[in-house]
Amino acid sequence: MLRLYTHPACLQHDPGPGYPEQPARLRAVLQALDHDQFSAIDRVEAPRVTREQLQRVHDERHIEHILSSRPAEGDTCQLDPDTAMSAGSVEAALRAAGAGVAAVDAVLGGTTRHAFCAVRPPGHHATASQAMGFCLFNNVAVAAAHALAAHGLKRVAIADFDVHHGNGTQATFEREPRVMFVSSHQWPLYPGTGEEGEHGTGNIVNGTLSPGAGSHEFRDLWNSVLLPHLDAFKPQLLLISAGFDAHASDPLAELRLGQNDYAWITEQLVTLAHEHADGRIVSSLEGGYDLAALASSTRAHVQALME
């Protein structure tokens, strides 16, 4: 069974015109999953994350800054050149992070085997002290920290196939050997981190792809480097930062993936999770900025999670 976590509040985060990270992204995802083939999905409203759960990843000053920066209705508040907040952003961010925590509880509690968090704002660029790259709180990092603290897991893996490196996730866990972070991403590209020589305590594995790389290079990187590291780590829980902006149609990068590549990598990760983690997977939406490509890629990802 697959459980889907989302919340209407995630549609109310509106950075304003000109931002690629728009409410239309989540509408496209939800519409893509509103078909008979997905009727068996258990759909659940995401709860709010608690302050204690956020504090495992973010410092108090950052949390307070986000929570107190709510602009007036119709206005926006600029946090950095890429990241803005609207009146609905705080509630959206609390629900987006809360989705991952609730999903971890569900898969570790045996309620479901796989979960997909259809939420925004995304999270993997947010560091302990800084919102950046469209991200306010680091949703996947908060979920991983919850798995360690509340469930006592010893090995949690995060697989990130967003076209941009998850700098916030890496920074959170690069000195935490209980968490392995593996990432495929275009290089060079924003945010300028994720070189292959960045290893943390041996728990960070970055795989870079040159502009123009496509299916062959992507699959070879995962088969030869990233999946073997995950396999050797033997995670008890697998988290996925599911960004779909490496698609050939995406306007923010220059990789050439298609929806079949997202089905393929999801199938590989499902197989690995069944081998080591009793099948337990929590996936959370990150990037993807061409609406048609985002919809088709998400559909392929979720279909693979259901099988």
What's the rounded mean pLDDT across residues 99-115? 98
CA distance 176 to 204: 10
- Where residue 36 falls among pLDDT bands split at 50, 70, 90? very high
CA distance 4 to 46: 9
Contacts of 60 (CB under 8 A, 6+ apart): none
Is the pTM above the cut of 0.85? Answer: yes
Catalytic residue among 114, 124, 125, 146: 125
Range of 179's domain?
Answer: 2-306
Residue 161 phi/psi, 5° resolution? -115, 20
Whether residue 307 is predicted with pLDDT greater than 90 in this model: the reply is: no
214 CB-side CA count, 13 A: 7
- Where residue 1 falls among pLDDT bands split at 50, 70, 90? confident
106 CB-side CA count, 13 A: 27
What's the rounded mean pLDDT across residues 55-79? 96
Q: What is the CATH number of the domain that holds 137?
A: 3.40.800.20
- Residue 35: active-site member: no
Number of domains in the chain: 1
Residue type at 265?
A: I
- Where residue 44 falls among pLDDT bands split at 50, 70, 90? very high
What's the rounded mean pLDDT across residues 256-279? 98
What is the C-alpha end-to-end distance of the chain, expressed in Å? 9
DSSP state of 12: S
3-state secondary structure of 101: helix
Q: What is the pLDDT of residue 248?
A: 98
Q: What is the pLDDT of residues 152-177, one digit of tens each?
A: 999 999 999 999 999 999 999 999 99
Percent of the chain with pLDDT over 90: 99
